[in-house]
Amino acid sequence: MTEQVPQSTTRPTSHAPRTAAFFDLDKTIIATSSSAAFSKPFLAGGLLSHADVLRSAYAHFVFMIGNADADQTERMRAHLSSLATGWDVEKVRQIVTETAHELIDPYVYAEAVELIAEHHAAGRDVVVVSASAAVLVEPIAAALGADHVLSTQMSVVDGRFTGKIDFYNYGDNKAVGIRRLAAQEQYDLAGSFAYSDSITDAPMLAAVGHAYVVNPDRVLKRRAAQSGWGVLAFTRPIALRPRIEPVPVIAVVGVAVVGVAAWLIWRAARRRSRRD
């Protein structure tokens, strides 16, 4: 990291204004596209065709190399909304919940996880902000321990997506969503933080008093310099899946001793049978 986030050693008192830390998801918290990550299980679940997966893979490639302009992003939005038309919401949620750790864990930035913990320790709420649909973002945000999610809201009728998007949480709309949540939760945005890797999130970054760009390209880095935003480098992935508790050394030794003893007994018995 080229700049350290200010630390707080005490939680704010009840009289202090509430603040929050707003994190973009794709390529900020995770080093991939959350929507593209689930293409394989959606294929296996019968929600996507092989052709759909190929188109999604191309869109993911364009996104990852940073070449998606506003028109391409709008086409991707329209394509994804049309794909989701008729999908059973609960089936999608089940697939995402069951595969989120497997598909997302390898791509989570350790630096983002550490910052989330630091903001929580400082008494701030953590909000995940994403252009992906809520059904995709919410399980990931829950695993990260986020307090709120701001994401794209898709219309649902009789438990199925209609293909209509009620609120597209992208570009200027991210700032709109942040201000709405701030009014609801009484956040002081001047004292709040925001993190993103994308120039399209400039409105979101400008909405708070402490903005940071993550792994910026040349354009975003120039904008950060002009706006006085901090610059951070996220490089280390970390798994969120709870690790299996290590077996105590004494237990390992005990198992090994029992195993050796059993082998010695078997060997002695075999020798006796040969002599007999």
Evaluate whether 73 touches 200 at the Cβ level (below 8 Å).
yes
- Residues assigned a catalytic role: 24, 26
Query: Minimal CA–CA distance to 174: which of 141, 152, 192, 190?
Result: 152
Return the amino acid letter for 131: A
Q: What are phi and psi of 165, to 5 degrees?
A: -105, 120
Query: Minimal CA–CA distance to 5: which of 208, 149, 180, 200?
Result: 208
Q: Which residues contact 113 (CB under 8 A, 6 or more apart)?
A: 144, 238, 240
CA gyration radius, the chain: 24
- 149-153 LR contacts (CB < 8 Å, sep 24+): 150/22, 150/174, 150/177, 150/178, 150/181
